Structure 1
Amino acid sequence: MAFIGRDRELAQLQRAYDSDAFECVVVYGRRRIGKTTLINRFLEGKPNIFYSAIEATMQGNLVALSNAINVYRNAGETTGVAPVYPDFQSVTDAVFAMAHDQRLVWVIDEYPFLAQADRSVSSILQHAIDRNKHDSKLMIVLCGSSMSFMERQVLDYTSPLYGRRTESIKLMPFTFDETRRFTSQLTKEHSAIAYGLTGGVAQYLEWIAPSDDIAGMIENRVISPLCNLFDEPYMLLQQEVRKPAEYNEMISNIATGSSRMSEISSASRMPTSQAQMYLTNMIDLGILDKEMPFGAKGRSKTIYRIKDPFFRFWYRYVPRSMSAIQARRLGLVTRMIIDDLPRFMGPVFEDISGQWMWGRGYDRLPFPVLQAGRWWGSDPKTRQQEEIDIVATGEDPARAILCECKWRNDPVGETEYRTLQRRGQLLPYPDKHYILFSRTGFTDNLRRIADADATVQLVSFDDMVE
């Protein structure tokens, strides 16, 4: 498969390489996000020692490290049994010596495995960097999938390596535009659903077959116990947290309606302080989001929601259907999911619309936007809860863009515009502009309104996607 995206990350790595001075770059991100693929792309044509740590003893890792160094010494050829370095100190001395006069990239992939095999590894590396960084041409790349480990024991100020890194790259999931490039063999709508199912994670997207229709994507790639994605959420939690079962229950509770701290801690049967710690960890992992209504002050209206689209999909459908799935009634579960898909895709389409506003649609906005978010609150007249999908503002505090995003089969019409207009009256912006996003276009009546009113803009899904 062709290499797609990651242009900024590749450029960042290349700039570090071109400095010809010592560099220590930390590359991290969740499982299957594409870290190793990115690094291998960067390494093309460059002298390098690539070593992927293994979940084993330090002796096992020293054998693998020694083999990787032997391959480099012999210009990429494996020649016999490599002499094994006695300890990691000897390894660092040897690698720094090789890079004294020539540029060399030393990649330690899955660094947490190595550091867990011997707790002195980070300290040894720290001292080696301090001794050699001023007269070395070595570029070290430390890569890891355990985000909690990389952030707390590599990047954190308590780590021996704190202050030694020269660059860091936190690899994020693909945007929808990048996902569309990855799934260009699918229709635009199928690409959007693929984004909703995978959250833009590169490896997940690779598991979607070009021949898959929507039912095939759901049944064969996500909910079948035989597919790779079926146990992926639990595997990710197992890698990142100490008590994955408790985290699993908490995410399930959020997926089924608990959103405030009191609701979540009660449903999860744990003290508020413990629930707060778990929620913070999942926010750090990119699984959850903590939200307040756009423009609100104070924490009284804070809610928690599942940020990651793949987790949102999996926890919405799989736990409640587990008995049917285990009974191999996959067709039944798939039909149920497809019937509910327009509702599931609502928040996904909001994400896609927000990305369009910050990306290819930015120059089409009525003014430069600096911040945006979701708004919700109570109408004092009706005492009903109201919500606006996206509110965006710029430098002028009097101006705002209010957006409605509809992923449904029917065209968006005047009713939706008038509802957005009415909800906008609850917000303190004198100068309001409106954007309506629609999967299936707009009624003729709404088009006439937009043609006559410069504050109303209509954006169809088809126009958002190349």
Structure 2
Amino acid sequence: MFIGRQHELIALQRMYDSKRFEMMVIYGRRRVGKTALIDHFLDGKTALYFTARQQNSRLILQSFAMAIAAYFNQPEVDFRSWDNAIDYLVSQARRHAGDKLVIVLDEFPYAAEAEPSLPSILQIAIDHGLKDTNTMLILSGSNQGFMESKVLGVHSPLYGRRTGQIKLQPFDCFDAARFVEHCTAEDAVRYYATFGGTPYYLAQLDPQLSYEQNVAMLCFDQAGLLYEEPMMMLREELKSPAIYDSILQAVSNGCNTPKIIADHIGLEPTSVSFYLKTLEELRLIERSIPFGEKPTSRKSRIHIKDPFFAYWYRFVAPNVTLIETGSGVEIARKTAESAVFATYVGQQFETMCMQWIFRAFRSGKLPLMPVLTGKWWGNNPLKREETDIDVVAAEPDEKKILLGECKWRNTVNETEMIASLRDRIGLIRGYRETTLAFFTKNPVHETTLAKYRNDPDMIFVCADDMFRER
């Protein structure tokens, strides 16, 4: 079952339908669904599809030659160099008539790292041949740093040749919920808080099992497919995986500034900044500042951005010993029932509420354009206390702002919740119109809805409302 990615498919199809040379660059971290996207796009189409492996240049070239021979229905060709292979493709592209000739080089970084001249060879082929043909070249890769510097970067030989790029991201909570479409909204929230939006992780869920059973099977069992997934990904993507693991564990434990993290794991603050930047580029962590503050704000906080990594480091990693002595099912059950997990889900629920805001805007259900988004924390001078705002979205040009409160609790004092958020109006200066949004686990009481039914500046959204149209 293929889910989502409609915007990306439209972009790919637009290139396919054109009558000129196109070059699409698709990248994103492992497991995010790059190959699935390409495969779905190519369904019903013919393409020269080659996936590079971690081999030396000669072996990769031999495999590439076999793919070329199979696609063009030619006897096997023993290309002596990559120049010969790419020149052959150019000659075939010039002869090709009719539909678009699609060439896919998947895991391109493996081939280019084994043969550093490959980007230059492709650049020459494009400039002196392919650009005048009806060819669509797709370069795909999981090594995001390589794709951004060696393919898209200004110093890359291929700079300026691409006609489009897709940095594939994990699904939001609503597309993620389509993997478990028969579950309740509450379980959809718990699933996203646990597995995030990575398609590969979500595809492992068994619809015949409960949430607790799926989590126990995948995460709290030594044989579980996702039991060692974070460490495996760090080993595949990064040098010094033990340092990155230590940083993620520190952030999970509440260390939220570079200095605190460095002190916690025994690194110099100047050194830890490099590792934090890499984890940010992988979208595993995020540096947040209060809405409206300058990027250099000293109030910044670091947290784990990816829900699955946040869950794994918070609940799985500390219990490895118990899991490996056979207590995984019991640990999974206790975790799902704990107040700590409920608090964690509440934190992730704030992210889901922001995702709802973007979807509501696209469907015309929001009174402003969410140009700037985030959350706010700081001092309330009237109350003389520290406070925060869970969700903020603003349209600066129109001086409009939305302030949101997110409550993942079975019961909520609605009067107190509304009064509390009203007290925060004006803490973020420069806006004339304020909309208040209340996101709750369960529907608010009918009397509350009736009281504010005709107030266009009040929005009430419960979990069932959020996931009703998945």
Q: TM-score band, normalised by the shorter chain?
A: over 0.9
Contact 1:402 1:434 in 2 (8 A): yes
1:71-220 equivalence runs, <5 A: 71-74=70-73, 82-102=76-96, 103-220=100-217
The number of residue pairs the alignment matches comes to: 460
Counterpart AA for 2:134: K
Give the deviation of 1:383 after TM superposition. 5.0
Q: Distance in 2 between matches of 1:254 and 1:63?
A: 45
The unaligned stretches of length 5 or more in structure 1 are: none
CA RMSD of aligned residues (A): 2.1
Counterpart AA for 2:320: M
Q: Distance in 1 between matches of 2:350 and 2:4?
A: 22
* Superimposed CA distance per residue, residues 251-270 of structure 1 (whole angstroms, 9 cap, x where no aligned partner): 11111101122212221221
1:52-451 equivalence runs, <5 A: 52-74=51-73, 82-102=76-96, 103-297=100-294, 298-338=296-336, 339=338, 340-360=340-360, 363-380=364-381, 383-395=384-396, 398-411=399-412, 413-428=414-429, 429=431, 431-451=433-453
SS in 1 for 2:442: coil
Q: Distance in 2 between matches of 1:227 and 1:62?
A: 36
Contact 2:292 2:428 in 1 (8 A): no
| Corresponding residue number in structure 2 for 1:461 | 463
Structure 1 residues 178 and 412: alpha-carbon distance in aligned structure 2, compared to 1, 3 A threshold: farther
Q: Distance in 1 between matches of 2:173 and 2:349?
A: 10
Contact 2:179 2:202 in 1 (8 A): yes
Give the deviation of 1:333 after TM superposition. 1.6
Contact 2:193 2:308 in 1 (8 A): yes
Contact 1:412 1:440 in 2 (8 A): no
Structure 1 residues 377 and 133: alpha-carbon distance in aligned structure 2, compared to 1, 3 A threshold: same
Give the deviation of 1:171 after TM superposition. 0.8
Contact 1:411 1:441 in 2 (8 A): no
Contact 1:96 1:138 in 2 (8 A): no
Give the deviation of 1:336 after TM superposition. 3.0
Q: Distance in 2 between matches of 1:226 and 1:189?
A: 28
Give the deviation of 1:437 after TM superposition. 0.6
* Superimposed CA distance per residue, residues 338-370 of structure 1 (whole angstroms, 9 cap, x where no aligned partner): 113321111221121111111136633333432
Contact 2:360 2:366 in 1 (8 A): no
Structure 1 residues 9 and 272: alpha-carbon distance in aligned structure 2, compared to 1, 3 A threshold: same
Structure 1 residues 121 and 329: alpha-carbon distance in aligned structure 2, compared to 1, 3 A threshold: same
Q: Distance in 2 between matches of 1:205 and 1:388?
A: 31
| Corresponding residue number in structure 2 for 1:25 | 24
Q: Distance in 1 between matches of 2:447 and 2:391?
A: 23
Q: Distance in 2 between matches of 1:18 and 1:405?
A: 44
The unaligned stretches of length 5 or more in structure 2 are: none
> In percent, how many aligned pairs have the same letter?
33
Structure 1 residues 165 and 364: alpha-carbon distance in aligned structure 2, compared to 1, 3 A threshold: closer
TM-score by length of 1: 0.93
Contact 1:414 1:445 in 2 (8 A): no
TM-score by length of 2: 0.92
Give the deviation of 1:235 after TM superposition. 2.0
Q: Distance in 2 between matches of 1:17 and 1:455?
A: 45
SS in 1 for 2:94: coil
Give the deviation of 1:113 after TM superposition. 1.2
| Corresponding residue number in structure 1 for 2:5 | 6
Counterpart AA for 1:133: L
SS in 1 for 2:453: helix
Counterpart AA for 1:175: D
Counterpart AA for 1:8: H
SS in 2 for 1:160: coil
Give the deviation of 1:371 after TM superposition. 1.8
Counterpart AA for 1:26: V
Give the deviation of 1:430 after TM superposition. 5.3
Structure 1 residues 66 and 449: alpha-carbon distance in aligned structure 2, compared to 1, 3 A threshold: same
Give the deviation of 1:453 after TM superposition. 4.5
Contact 1:146 1:239 in 2 (8 A): no
- Runs of 4 or more, structure 1, over 4 Å off, are none
Give the deviation of 1:445 after TM superposition. 5.0
Q: Distance in 1 between matches of 2:370 and 2:43?
A: 39
Q: Distance in 2 between matches of 1:241 and 1:318?
A: 21
Q: Distance in 2 between matches of 1:135 and 1:365?
A: 46
Contact 1:406 1:412 in 2 (8 A): no
